[in-house]
């Protein structure tokens, strides 16, 4: 995952992209999806994908609480 501010060379409104590959050799960059849940509205950062034993992939990411603006770690599973 990459983060950048497309509007300015300074810290500000960050957007994220992620790397995609079908063979893990050639990488492409795709935009990250926009927040679509209330708990994601303040942004998500530092995402990693892993496989738990005998499980589908899960995404671990850092986000901001939608009520008190606290940073937290979250886990997303495919349903």
C-alpha to C-alpha distance for 43 and 65, rounded to whole angstroms: 9
pLDDT in the model for residue 55: 76
In the numeric block, the tokens 């998500």 are attached to 44
**58 & 78 share domain:** yes
pLDDT in the model for residue 40: 64
**57 & 28 share domain:** no
Whole-model pTM: value is 0.49
Q: Which domain holds residue 15?
A: 1-32
C-alpha to C-alpha distance for 70 and 63, rounded to whole angstroms: 8
Structure tokens at 69: 């603006």
**18 & 40 share domain:** no
Q: What is the pLDDT of residues 8-43, one digit of tens each?
A: 776 666 666 777 888 878 888 877 666 666 666 666
**41 & 65 share domain:** yes
**77 & 41 share domain:** yes
Q: What is the pLDDT of residues 46-75, one digit of tens each?
A: 678 888 887 788 888 887 777 777 778 887
CA 12 and chain centroid, separation: 17
């Amino acid at each position: 995952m990459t983060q950048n501010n497309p509007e300015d060379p300074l810290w500000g409104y960050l957007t994220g992209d992620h790397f995609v590959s079908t063979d893990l050799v050639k990488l492409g960059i795709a935009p990250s999806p926009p927040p679509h849940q209330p708990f994601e509205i303040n942004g998500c950062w530092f995402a990693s994908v892993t496989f738990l034993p005998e499980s589908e992939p899960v995404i671990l990411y850092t986000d901001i609480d939608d009520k008190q603006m606290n940073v937290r770690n979250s886990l997303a599973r495919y349903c």
